[in-house]
Amino acid sequence: MLERTLRKDRTAVTFVLPADTPPGPVSVVGDFNHWQPGTHTLKPRKDGKRAVTVELPSGTTQTFRYLAAGDYWFNDDSAGDQDGSNSRLHT
């Protein structure tokens, strides 16, 4: 699930997943972090889910995927758009 907060010239995008699906550590990787795993690792929230927030320039399109333990790559169905095998996010 994606949560968006509009700011002056940026959009704060929070990437949210259930606490244990998939199990183990998960990071979001994409254009915004040069596809470097571990740069944006999801952390537990008080509501029992895991999340990480990334500040992105407004009016841009970013592609991303999640990377979980065991080299398990997956998309975010809530992104609503795909670019090949990647999720696409419009800010």
pLDDT tens per residue across span 33-49: 999 999 999 999 999 99
The pTM of the full predicted model, rounded to 2 decimals, is: 0.91
Closest CA to 76 of 38, 33, 21: 21
Q: Which residue has the higher pLDDT, 27 or 81?
A: 27
* pLDDT tens digits, 11-34: 999 999 999 889 999 999 999 999
**Sorting pLDDT into bands at 50, 70 and 90, what band is 84?**
confident
| Domains and their CATH numbers in the chain | 2-78 (2.60.40.10)
Region 55-76: mean pLDDT is: 95
Rg (the chain; Cα; Å)? 12
